[in-house]
Amino acid sequence: MPKKCLNTKTWLFTLALLISALSTNQSTASASTNAPASRHNLLLIGRAVQKNIRSCMERQGFQYVAEPSESLDITAPLPYSIPTLAMARRDGFGAQDLIDPNQKYSSLLSDARQRSYLLALYGGTVSTDQVTVVIPQGGVIGHSKSGCQASAERALYVNYQKWFRVSTIVGNYQAIAQSELLNSKTFERQLDSWRLCVQGKGFKWTNPNVAIFSYVHSHNHVSRSEIIAAIVVSTCASRTGLEKVASKQFEHYVSKFSNQYRKEVRVYWQMQVEAVRTADATKV
């Protein structure tokens, strides 16, 4: 089976924050290969991967929409994507793409074409065609070495097996840190304060995500009520210290796990540097 992947926009943004947190634990970061890629470069890589997937799928007779990149003006202390006050006033909680255009496209294909589409995108399920990695919290994640997704990343990182291993390990720190954060008494106290703050403004949300997913809009329209709600969420997150505590706690929990995989983190950074160079050289 193909690996279940995060939406590209979410994955890039999460990794940008995650790697920034990991970098605080490095005593030296003078060389570019010993420091995390900037968010700009992460987005550059993401656009290049999507362009490669689109080209690959089109060569095999399928349509593919390259997903747009994440906006740069969001702050997201995990596990919540809380908008900045400036973004809240302008865009509310931001456009939410509930319908993936590629899923919509594939759903309209015949059963046989759907199978061909998935095979083209993700590759086969034969064990000899898989790359696998043991993740920090236990268990094994695998992905086919064939398919447009793998070939798109191989074009940037060259050694797909190495890239899949280090990126999966680094990416799964997020799940660990998020779980630890949600179970933190310190964070829960701040969340209680946040709830009281929004209640004082007439809302009964139990956490920011309840608010965020209560307001879904397209890229073309944002209601006045959403803007008001987003301002409340952002203001209360800042006023109660929820953002600050979440970010601090997140960095603390990431640091607990980063030492064991310091080598993988460094390789991750090194491979990113080369990917950025390739993406920059081939961007349109």
Residue 165 has pLDDT above 90, yes or no: yes
Instruction: Provide the token pair at 277.
Output: 């160079």
Question: 3, 9 in Cβ contact below 8 A?
Answer: no
Instruction: Judge whether 2 lies within some domain.
Output: no
Say how many C-beta atoms besides its own lie within 10 A of residue 73's C-beta.
Answer: 12
Domain count, the chain: 1
**Which distant-in-sequence residues (6+ apart) come within 8 Å of 108 by Cβ?**
none
pLDDT digits (tens, 9 = 90+) for 198-228: 999 999 999 888 888 888 765 667 889 999 9
Residues ≥6 apart with Cβ < 8 Å to 29: 23, 35
| Rounded average pLDDT over 110-134 | 90
Model confidence, pTM: 0.69
The terminus-to-terminus CA distance of the chain in angstroms comes to 33
Range list of H helices, 24-75: 39-59
Contacts for 146 with CB less than 8 Å, ≥ 6 apart: 123, 124, 129
Mind listing the pLDDT tens digit for each residue in 73-105? 333 444 567 888 888 898 888 766 556 889 999
For residue 180, pLDDT over 80 is answered with no
Identify the domain containing residue 241 by its residue range.
Answer: 8-282
Residue 48 DSSP label? H
Please indicate, yes or no, if residue 114 is contained in any of the structural domains.
yes
273, 32 Cβ separation under 8 angstroms: yes
Look at residue 91 in the predicted model and tell me its pLDDT: 85
Question: Which residue in this structure is represented by tokens 């420091």?
Answer: 35
Question: 55 lies in a domain?
Answer: yes
191 within 8 A of 79, measured Cβ to Cβ: no
CA atoms of 227 and 231, how far apart (whole Å): 6
